[in-house]
């Protein structure tokens, strides 16, 4: 069941009419003449950042920056050969190959100079996904368990409230029908549009570890092509967090899709059990406690020789806490999978990190740090660096803070301004997911809500009132909560607080301890263009009472309030009327 929401009519100034929000009362001089926007829900959205299949938009926005479409340029001998700044995918160039297996080494000392090739804007440096592994065999060699490729369709509508957007710019060496490894920003990256020069029809696909590929089946598709593509990805992947609900470790494996459940050889599991006992973690622990123990331990690795190597590399790494990024990521992956948490190791030419799967959150990027004397970045000139929508909440020992993944140390190829902008707090600069007039208010609200402890931005699998999104399938065996707003401020100022009260019920019984997501949507838009402003939790009586900040960038308008809650093991997802 869904319940009707109250309309919030916030008066800008006496006599102005139905404007939702006004200048914050703390301002010295309020704006007396800001125009009221056209509330026609059928009015076309601005074209910037829009897309058409097989035709890239002119530009996209990232935070407070506009990122023009990369130029395909004129073909030249340099383009056909590639360069140090832009290797040719499908060749044997540095930074262009994908590994199919990975076995840990015992060279645990500090890396020398690491070389990283930038192909995305905003750049996810140094976390480009090139090779991902989800399984280990009896010899502790990592590989991809499901190598069969599934085609990835081109096109779709991006949602700046839940997805971050990127340009991809690569050279690819094609032969008809041959799949070429393609780097990605996230496991669920979508190709919204693309252009190639010379013009060629392309197909995209990925394997069971979400390694991406591109190919052409055209008989004339032979040689080096310049590919520019427009992509998006789940914003929650870059801003890792535990699920809202309190799970035990064993619940994670129980909720994981069958294809993600870790399959661990007996000898690998026995070795990992020693590490689990050493860290004091087990499947019956609360997920947050166990996971923070894992992250803290492997982030505290130090580069240096293993004191007494035995030939069992996994045990030697765990017992000595010695190693750089690839050693930390390898040992973490083995341990987490044995514990029941689906985990992958991901690497590129300069770094290795892990991805973990949580209920509600899906895949999350977890960096464990590394150690190197220098890092040399190519291809990042005039690019912005990607800024997640919230800070990593997990334990950060000193060994983790002072490393190149935090842009500390000797890093060449990035300007001081690029590094300074990347390091700004979310209070000082917007995340990359903020998208100007269309997305800035949404993401500012989400960032502020996260900072206030009221919840992170919703991931794509989470229910919102946007009528353009697919309907959520209801399980007939589960009850569906009823959500209702009981009280809301009749008016509020931009940048100030709005008071909202509501209740969650199942039948006639109150639903306690339920996270409820609060959205604003322009009046008459039937839930379109929703703006998440918070996620309070109900009390024992099923009631929530909360004061939520209104984003300073919010347009003057009249809005309706919508509530939603997520599906879990006991209840269906629910959306109010």
- pLDDT score, position 569: 73
- Are the CB atoms for 560 and 20 separated by under 8 Å? no
- pLDDT score, position 472: 72
Question: Does 465 lie in the same domain as 391?
Answer: no
In whole angstroms, what is the distance from residue 528 CA to residue 531 CA? 9
Domain membership of residue 190 (yes or no) is no
Which helix (DSSP H) or strand (DSSP E) does residue 279 occupy?
Answer: helix 266-279
Question: Does 415 lie in the same domain as 291?
Answer: yes
Domain membership of residue 87 (yes or no) is no
Show Cβ contacts of residue 347 under 8 Å, excluding neighbours closer than 6 positions. Answer: 99, 102, 130, 131, 132, 326, 329, 353
In the chain, % of residues over pLDDT 70 = 83
| Residue 302 DSSP code | B
Task: Provide the domain count of the chain.
Answer: 2
- pLDDT score, position 435: 57
Angle at 370 between CA 368 and CA 375, to 5 degrees: 135
Question: Does 360 lie in the same domain as 467?
Answer: no
Question: Does 335 lie in the same domain as 297?
Answer: yes
- Are the CB atoms for 234 and 162 separated by under 8 Å? yes
Tens of pLDDT along 144-187? 999 999 999 999 888 888 999 999 999 999 999 999 999 999 99
- pLDDT score, position 182: 97
Query: Which of 64-67's residues contact partners 24+ apart within 8 Å by CB, and which partners?
Result: 64/429, 64/430, 64/434, 64/436, 65/384, 66/436, 67/121, 67/122, 67/167, 67/384
- pLDDT score, position 128: 97
Residue located via tokens 């368990």: 145
**Beta partners for residue 2, in sequence order:** 483
User: What's the domain range around 295?
Assistant: 245-423
Specify the CATH number for the domain of residue 10: 2.60.40.10
Domain membership of residue 386 (yes or no) is yes
Question: Does 403 lie in the same domain as 334?
Answer: yes
- What is the bridge-based pairing of β-strands 88-89 and 163-174? parallel
Question: Does 42 lie in the same domain as 3?
Answer: yes
Domain membership of residue 305 (yes or no) is yes
- pLDDT score, position 73: 67
Show Cβ contacts of residue 415 under 8 Å, excluding neighbours closer than 6 positions. Answer: none
Domain membership of residue 338 (yes or no) is yes
- pLDDT score, position 308: 86
State both tokens at 335: 């341990």
- pLDDT score, position 439: 35
For the chain, give the mean pLDDT: 83
- pLDDT score, position 533: 86
Question: Does 507 lie in the same domain as 547?
Answer: yes
Specify the CATH number for the domain of residue 326: 3.10.620
Question: Does 382 lie in the same domain as 509?
Answer: no
370, 391, 423: which is the final residue of a domain?
423
400, 423, 446: which is the final residue of a domain?
423
Question: Does 462 lie in the same domain as 407?
Answer: no
Domain membership of residue 496 (yes or no) is yes
- pLDDT score, position 446: 40
Question: Does 494 lie in the same domain as 372?
Answer: no
363, 394, 423: which is the final residue of a domain?
423
Query: Can you list the residues of the chain whose pLDDT is less than 70?
Result: 1-54, 73-85, 435-462, 495, 552
Domain membership of residue 490 (yes or no) is yes
Domain membership of residue 128 (yes or no) is no
**Backbone CA torsion sign across 525, 531, 536, 537:** positive
Question: Does 454 lie in the same domain as 404?
Answer: no
- pLDDT score, position 475: 81
Question: Does 440 lie in the same domain as 408?
Answer: no
- Are the CB atoms for 252 and 246 separated by under 8 Å? no
């Amino acid at each position: 069941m869904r319940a009707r929401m109250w309309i919030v009519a916030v008066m800008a100034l006496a006599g102005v009419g139905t404007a939702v929000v006004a200048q914050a009362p703390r301002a010295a001089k309020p704006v007396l003449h800001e125009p009221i926007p056209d509330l026609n829900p059928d009015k076309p959205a601005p074209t910037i950042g829009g897309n058409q299949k097989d035709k890239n938009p002119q530009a996209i926005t990232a935070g407070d920056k506009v990122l023009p479409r990369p130029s395909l340029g004129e073909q030249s001998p340099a383009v056909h050969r590639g360069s140090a700044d832009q290797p040719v995918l499908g060749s044997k160039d540095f930074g262009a190959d994908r590994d199919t297996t990975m076995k840990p080494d015992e060279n645990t000392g500090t890396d020398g100079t690491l070389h990283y090739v930038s192909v995305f804007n905003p750049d996810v440096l140094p976390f480009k996904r090139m090779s991902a592994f989800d399984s280990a065999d009896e010899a502790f060699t990592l590989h991809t368990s499901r190598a069969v490729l599934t085609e990835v369709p081109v096109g779709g509508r991006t949602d700046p409230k839940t997805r971050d957007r990127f340009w991809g710019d690569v050279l690819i060496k094609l032969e008809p029908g041959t799949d070429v490894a393609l780097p990605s920003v996230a496991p669920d990256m979508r190709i919204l549009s693309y252009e190639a020069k010379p013009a060629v029809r392309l197909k995209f696909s990925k394997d069971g570890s979400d390694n991406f590929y591109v190919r052409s089946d055209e008989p004339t598709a032979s040689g080096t092509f310049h590919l520019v593509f427009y992509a998006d990805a789940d914003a929650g992947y870059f801003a890792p967090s535990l699920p809202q609900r309190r799970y035990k470790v064993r619940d994670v494996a129980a909720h994981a899709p069958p294809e993600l459940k870790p399959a661990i050889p007996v000898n690998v599991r026995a070795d990992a059990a020693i590490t689990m006992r050493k860290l004091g973690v087990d499947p019956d622990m609360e997920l947050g406690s166990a996971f923070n123990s894992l992250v803290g331990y492997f982030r505290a690795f130090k580069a240096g020789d293993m004191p007494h190597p035995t030939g069992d590399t996994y045990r030697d790494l765990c017992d000595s806490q010695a190693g750089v990024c690839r050693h930390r990521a390898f040992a973490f992956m083995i341990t987490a999978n044995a514990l029941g948490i689906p985990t992958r190791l991901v690497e590129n030419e300069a770094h290795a990190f892990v991805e973990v799967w949580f209920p509600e959150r899906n895949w999350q990027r977890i960096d464990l740090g590394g150690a190197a004397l220098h890092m040399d970045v190519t291809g990042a000139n005039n690019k912005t660096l990607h800024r997640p929508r919230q800070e990593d909440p997990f334990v950060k020992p000193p060994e983790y803070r002072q490393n190149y993944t935090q842009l500390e140390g000797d890093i060449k190829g990035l300007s001081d301004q690029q590094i300074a902008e990347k390091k700004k707090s979310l209070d000082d600069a917007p995340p990359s997911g903020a998208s100007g007039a269309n997305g800035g208010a949404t993401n500012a609200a989400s960032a502020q809500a996260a900072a206030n402890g009221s919840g992170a931005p919703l991931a794509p699998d989470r229910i919102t009132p946007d009528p353009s999104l697919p309907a959520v399938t209801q399980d007939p065996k589960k009850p569906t909560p009823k959500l209702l707003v009981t009280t809301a401020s009749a008016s509020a100022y931009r940048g100030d607080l709005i008071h909202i009260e509501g209740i969650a019920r199942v039948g006639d019984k109150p639903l306690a301890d339920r996270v409820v997501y609060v959205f604003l949507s322009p009046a008459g838009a039937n839930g379109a263009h929703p703006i998440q402003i918070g996620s309070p939790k109900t009390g024992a009586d099923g009631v929530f009472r909360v004061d939520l900040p209104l984003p300073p960038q919010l347009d003057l308008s009249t809005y309706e309030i919508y509530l939603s809650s997520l599906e879990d093991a006991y209840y269906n997802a629910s959306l109010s009327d």
